[in-house]
Structure formats: structure tokens, C-alpha cells
Amino acid sequence: MARTIRWGMIGCGEVAQQKSGPGFLRARDSTLVAVADRNGERAQAFAAKHDVPRSHVDAQAVIAAPDVDAVYVATRTDSHCDYVLRCAAAGKPVLVEKPAAMSHAQCLHMIDACAKAKVPLWVAYYRRALPRFLKLRELVDGGAIGKVHMVTMRHHHAVPSLEVMRGPFWSWRLDPVQSGGGIFFEAVGHTLDILDLVFGPIAEVRAFAANQAGAYPAEDVVAASFRFASGVCGSGSWCFTTDWDDEYNEIVGSEGRIRYSTFPPLSPPSGRPPDPIRIYRGDKVEEVAVADPPFVHEPLIQTIVDEMNGHGRCPSDGASAARTAWVIDEVLGEFRAGVGKR
């Protein structure tokens, strides 16, 4: 009989409220027993809304609690490494939000600490467990477009207004000191991580990045080419200084192509379902519509709970997240070093 995994959560912000927090209560053999947030009122409000027994201001109260079996860290990126190290020191399995850390080197440090403590480290690249991306991998692996030769990525995003940039969502995400980068660092990791899931690791990177608009200090335009260890080639263009929002990826094979989006539609109205996966073969188009669950972290949480109960493995761990962090570091390396910032 499976045991109920008792979770503690650190951070009760937007991600926890809308994407992940309720998933710990909805997943099978899982419950949420304590939450913490440096904003005590926010922690209390989350606990009251979801009938969580305890709320704290001090994160260590969650990490050290004897009735917490595993900890979920949903805080700013610049705090991830510290919390993961503290969980490892307490002997607690830990799920940390993506991006896993500020750099590939930090990821390796976290992996090493958890390995030495003999506790698992998972990373919330939740799309690895979403049904639509599992369907994407099934289509590729099943030969829906023959042998894959190339993948292309395109992501355009309008510059947020000054008011929005100062708001709670973007203010820290556009500050490399707190987040590690900008929209590319925050969002495109999801796209790269799914490609790692489908095609395996990226082995080589060639890239340019710059800040063209000067609206915030992080990168706002990126162009990159990749070679996967499997032999598949790839390229991407990401421009966050446009006057419209647009995002899609295309996998090109010997017998067709697959177009899909990493994210739900970016243009209003918000809350629309994800675009269907589209399979093109000559002049024929097949659409495969796969909905996301209400709380998108729930399928990944379920894989972790099952793993802790001795059934299966979570597809997103420290090692897979570190590979994505390495690619991002390679893409942004020259920009971070001060080359070509304008």
C-alpha cells in the first residue's frame, strides 16, 4: 500500500497559486501539510484557502518539520541553491522551481550536495510530464514524419509596459541579479528542456545575444544554432522587442513536419487552450489537440510521489535540468561577459 507523501512548500507566489500548489493536494497519495513565505499574510491566505494545516514566515520551519517528507521550493531563482542545500542538509528530498539555478555551475553544486546527502533532487520543468508533450515525443519516436533532421524555434514578445515591468510578475524576472537573465532565461528553458526530452542532449551551441531596446538590463534578442548528440540540428530566434506576441516550434523530418507551441496562446483572450499539434505531410494537415490539466504541475508531482513510493521515475531531475542550464549558459556566455550587449 502506497504511503501518503507529506509536502512542505516554500514560496506562495503566483506560480504556487496558479500552477503548482493545488497539485500537491490533487495528486494521488500526496498532501500539503505546511507552507512558508516571507510575506506571512500571503502564506496564511494560501493555507486558509487550501486547508493546509500550517503556515510560516521562516522557511526553515518547513525544512526541519518532522512531518514533512519532501519540500517544494517556489521562490526567486537567486534563492534556489540556498534552499536546496538546506534541504539536503536536513535529509529532505526536494523539488525546486525552474530555472533550477542561476547557472550550470550552481546546478552541479546542488546535484553534488543532494547526492552526498542521498536525497533526490527534482526540477519543476513540468512540461516533461504534460500529456501534449508526451504525445509530441510519441509522434516523433513513432516515425510520424520519418527521420528527423532539423528543429526550429521562434518566440517573439512585445516589450512589457513600464507599469507591467514594475509589477510583481516581471520586476524580478527582468533583473539578472535576481532571476539570472531575462525572458529568454526565464521562459525559453522550457522549450530547450522539451527538446532534450524528445531528442536527447544538445552537444554544441553557437549563439549571439544582445540588449537592443534598453528597456531592462537582460538579454532581449537571441539567435542560436544547436547540434544534438543524436545528430539532429536546430536553430532558434527569440526577439522580445517586437510589437506582437508569437511563439512556435517546428520539427522537420524526411516525410513531413510537426508544428507545436511550448506555451498557451500568448495573445488575448487569455486562458485559451494550447494550440493543437499540427502534422504536415505534403498538402495534408492533421491536428492533434491535447488539453493541459487545470494545475499544470500535477502530472509531474504525481511522477515524484510515485517515485518516492517505489513506482517509476520522475522525468525531470537535477541532471536533466543541468543540461538545459548548460545550453543557456553557452547561449548567453558572451553577452554576460559584456560582448555585444548593444
Return the pLDDT at 174. Answer: 87
Return the pLDDT at 244. Answer: 86
pLDDT tens digit sequence for 53-65:
999 999 999 999 9
- The rounded percent of the chain whose pLDDT value lies above 70 is 97
Return the pLDDT at 149. Answer: 98
Confidence of residue 268 (pLDDT cuts 50, 70, 90): low
Return the pLDDT at 342. Answer: 47
Domain ranges of the chain: 5-127, 131-292+325-336
Return the pLDDT at 19. Answer: 94
pLDDT at 235 over 70: yes
Return the pLDDT at 266. Answer: 65
Residue whose C-alpha is closest to residue 10's, from 76, 67, 66: 76
Q: How long a stretch of residues is the chain?
A: 342
Q: Are 25 and 50 a contacting pair, CB within 8 Å?
A: yes
Comparing 176 with 268, the larger pLDDT belongs to 176
Question: Which distant-in-sequence residues (6+ apart) come within 8 Å of 283 by Cβ?
Answer: none
pLDDT tens digit sequence for 274-324:
999 999 999 999 999 999 999 999 999 999 999 999 999 999 999 999 999
Distance CA 196, CA 105 (A): 19
Residue 217 to residues 7, 29, 177, 247: CA-CA distances in angstroms?
A: 36, 44, 10, 23
* Average pLDDT over the chain, rounded to an integer: 95
pLDDT at 233 over 70: yes
CATH for 131-292+325-336 is 3.30.360.10
* CATH superfamily, region 5-127: NAD(P)-binding Rossmann-like Domain (3.40.50.720)
Distance CA 34, CA 137 (A): 36
Beta pairing, strands 121-123 & 94-96: parallel
pLDDT tens digit sequence for 316-342:
999 999 999 999 999 999 999 985 444
DSSP 260-291: E-SSS--SSSTTPPPPPEEEEETTEEEEE--P
pLDDT tens digit sequence for 171-230:
888 889 998 999 999 999 999 999 999 999 999 999 999 999 999 999 999 999 999 999
Is the preceding peptide bond at 99 cis, omega within 30 degrees of 0?
yes
Cell numbers standing for residue 277: 499539434
Confidence of residue 17 (pLDDT cuts 50, 70, 90): very high
Mean pLDDT of 133-160: 96
Comparing 173 with 265, the larger pLDDT belongs to 173
pLDDT at 163 over 80: yes
Confidence of residue 21 (pLDDT cuts 50, 70, 90): very high
